[in-house]
Structure formats: C-alpha cells, structure tokens
Amino acid sequence: MAAPVPVRGLLLGKNPAHLQACIDTAAPDCEFVRKASSVDDAKKALSALLNGKEIQFVAMGGGFTMADFEELHQGNAASIPWYRPETTKPGYDGPPMTGPPSPETVASKLRKGLDEHVEDMKAGKGAGEVWYF
C-alpha cells in the first residue's frame, strides 16, 4: 500500500527553532517544501511555488506583522488557505504575549490547526481562507 500523499505548504517564520519544530511536527500528513524568514524571500517563494501549483497552503508565524501578511496575501497567494497564530487574529482578546512561545507550543498549535483542515486541503478546499492556530 502506498504511503498517503501529504499536503504541501510554505512555512514563513523568523525563529529558526520554531521553523524546525513545525517542520518536524507536520509530517506525515503535511510537508513544508520551502521556508522563508523575510517578506522578500516569501515573495520569491510564493511566486515560484504558486506558479508551479506546488503548495496547497501557507503557514505564517507571529513574527510577521499584519502589514507583511497583507503584502504577501495578494493575487494568487489568496487562492490557497493561510494559517496564522491566533494572536494575530483581528479582535484577538486573549492574554497578551509576554515573549515568543516555545518551539513545542508553536508546533503543537500549528499541528492541531493542520489536523483540523488537512482533509479540506486534500480536497482542494479552503481557497481564500485564513485559519488561526
């Protein structure tokens, strides 16, 4: 029996430990085909990956601002679902961040969000959605 085909994504994050924890935790259902730590690198990666239809989602860490998100989430980039930390959700009224969370916390929350929507992404659903983890 063949192994299940993972959904493929682009991981955007500024903390190397967070990036690695997310990559390690996403398998086997999800695979990050590329990562980027700056807006410029993210633009280049999005352009290449979306034109080749190589990714089905983008996961963006909390180190990116709302302005960064709005700059990147345009045109073709809005044709697939995006994941953002719950603390970046407009109207977020939870506890304030006192510093970056641990890599394990970030990876666990993202994994939970991926699990919630992986079947939708495999079915090609979620276009234009922003899902918070």
pLDDT reported for residue 68: 97
- Domains of the chain by start residue, with CATH: 7-132 (3.40.50)
Could you read off the pLDDT of 52-85 as tens digits, one per residue? 889 999 999 999 999 999 999 998 899 999 999 9
| DSSP at 93 | -
Q: Rounded distance, CA 48 to CA 71, Å?
A: 17
* Structure confidence at residue 123 as a pLDDT band (50, 70, 90): very high
Residue 39 one-letter amino acid: V
Beta bridge pairs of residue 59: 11, 83
Of the two residues 53 and 34, the one the predictor is more confident about is: 34
Q: Which two tokens stand for residue 48?
A: 């290449």
Could you read off the pLDDT of 5-17 as tens digits, one per residue? 899 999 999 999 9
Pairing of strands 30-36, 7-12: parallel
Which three-class secondary structure state does DSSP give residue 37? coil
Q: Rounded distance, CA 68 to CA 1, Å?
A: 42
Pairing of strands 30-36, 82-84: unpaired
* Structure confidence at residue 96 as a pLDDT band (50, 70, 90): confident
Q: Which two tokens stand for residue 116?
A: 């919630």
Residue 98 has pLDDT above 90, yes or no: no
The pTM for the full model equals 0.93
